[in-house]
Amino acid sequence: MSDVSSASVFLDAGKNRSLRPVAAALDPVLSDAILVFGLPRSGTSWLGKIFDSHPDTLYRHEPDTAVKADAIPLAPGVDELDGYAMALVAYLNEMVDVRSTKVSAKLPVFRKNYLGPLRYQARQKAIWAAKVGSHLFGELSVPDLMTGREKRDVRLVWKSIESLGRLGMLSRLNRDFRIVHIVRHPCGYIASTLRGEAGAKFVSATPAAEDHHMFEMLLSTEPARARGLTIGKLTDLSAAERLAWRWLLFNEKAMLDAEAAGNCLALRYEDLCADPMAESKRLFAFTGLDWAAQTESFISRTVSRDDTAYYSLYKNPLRTANGWREDMARDDIARVRDIVADSRPGQLYAQDFSFPGDSLAAPHQPNRSSLGRNGKHSETALRSA
């Protein structure tokens, strides 16, 4: 495990005066934005729509995938913030205005306090028109139909599977960001990724376990250097083992980088599945949102049926969380467990590597190793602060 004692000297807009004018240049809608970050197939879409269901939020679904931040590395060191701050702010300001159907028109569409009945209906019609038009003419833009004042007062929600490696830098750029880092069991992530690749569900034709460019980038991170990991060592591993390393390096980097920032909360996907209402209330409290009846209704709908479509939000959460226990071979589970065992994210699942047929392969219960007294989450174990 790397030494993070030097975190207190990292540059950030809250402590470094040279960065304050840069952070002040952020679009006002970004001033207290909520960031929902995680690896693909980790529950980010469900969690993002839970935040979108709040009537005072403005949702952006993976804008950094639609418009790439080519000037900013995918996994920079937090000590590089000073060099990338200007480019990062410029990109964020551009990103919030991305309103393509894939970014700002993900279904379902929720009523918002800042949109009256007429504007809500007009935006619904604009969304459906843009979706139909996008099939014919390519991605089209969907208007937010908000005034400048309304946009300044709204809480922006940015959901990302692209920028997890940038989480630490972002957490220091603006201490008023509230960042939720969702982590799924490594076997759940691996099983879902391999199933999606087998079903050609992803845009990229390169399997994640064979993305050598991504692995070369990850090998430059502190978690990889601390373990002496090399491309040569990865080459000899199975696809499941390489994905386990990808899971470990991305999640551990994010957790270590954000540790001193105080504005990031790590969440186990399995805990959200076990009690989505309670966990969502906890997340809303962390991000400064009040509880909303619309959110409660949405969560109830998502867990009340079990749609088998790969990208569906409407699933039996416990069955989804535990499906890997039946999908993965016993030997693969054991190898994944051995790879992640000594890592920071792996410790969230230290007691949760039961095999098919074992007595512990029952529906998931919250991992008591990451919970404090009375079943409450331990801030030491779960909060990157």
User: Which residue has tokens 């993070």?
Assistant: 4
Give the number of residues written for the chain.
385
Structure tokens at 359: 């007595």
Q: What is the pLDDT of residues 113-122, one digit of tens each?
A: 999 999 999 9
Torsion, Cα of 293, 296, 301, 302 (10° steps):
140
Binned at pLDDT 50, 70 and 90, residue 236 comes out as very high
pLDDT at 214 over 50: yes
Structure tokens at 216: 């070369």
For residue 265, list its beta bridge partners: 180, 383
Q: What is the pLDDT of residues 65-121, one digit of tens each?
A: 999 999 999 999 999 999 999 999 999 999 999 999 999 999 999 999 999 999 999
For residue 383, list its beta bridge partners: 265
Binned at pLDDT 50, 70 and 90, residue 373 comes out as very low
Q: What is the pLDDT of residues 162-172, one digit of tens each?
A: 999 999 999 99
d(CA 101, CA 323) in angstroms, rounded, equals 31
Taking the chain, what is the end-to-end CA distance rounded to the nearest angstrom?
17
Q: Which of 331, 384, 381, 320 shows the shortest CA–CA distance to 355?
A: 331
Q: CA angle, corner 377, sides to 49 and 260, nearest 5?
A: 85
What local confidence, expressed as pLDDT, does residue 380 receive? 28
At 156, give phi and psi (nearest 5°).
-75, 135
Which of the pair, 254 or 305, is modelled with greater confidence?
A: 254
Is the bond into 108 cis (omega within 30 degrees of 0)? yes
Q: In what order do the strands lie in the sheet with 34-37?
A: 57-61, 155-160, 34-37, 178-183, 264-268, 383-384
Least confident residue range of 7-11, 274-278, 327-331: 7-11
> Could you give the 3-state DSSP secondary structure of residue 48?
helix
pLDDT at 11 over 70: no
pTM above 0.75, yes or no: yes
Do residues 149 and 132 touch, judged by C-beta distance below 8 A? no
Do residues 71 and 128 touch, judged by C-beta distance below 8 A? no
Do residues 174 and 260 touch, judged by C-beta distance below 8 A? no
d(CA 69, CA 160) in angstroms, rounded, equals 12
What percent of the chain clears pLDDT 90, i.e. is strictly above it? Answer: 78
DSSP H helical segments within 174-238, as ranges?
Answer: 186-198, 212-218, 222-226, 231-235
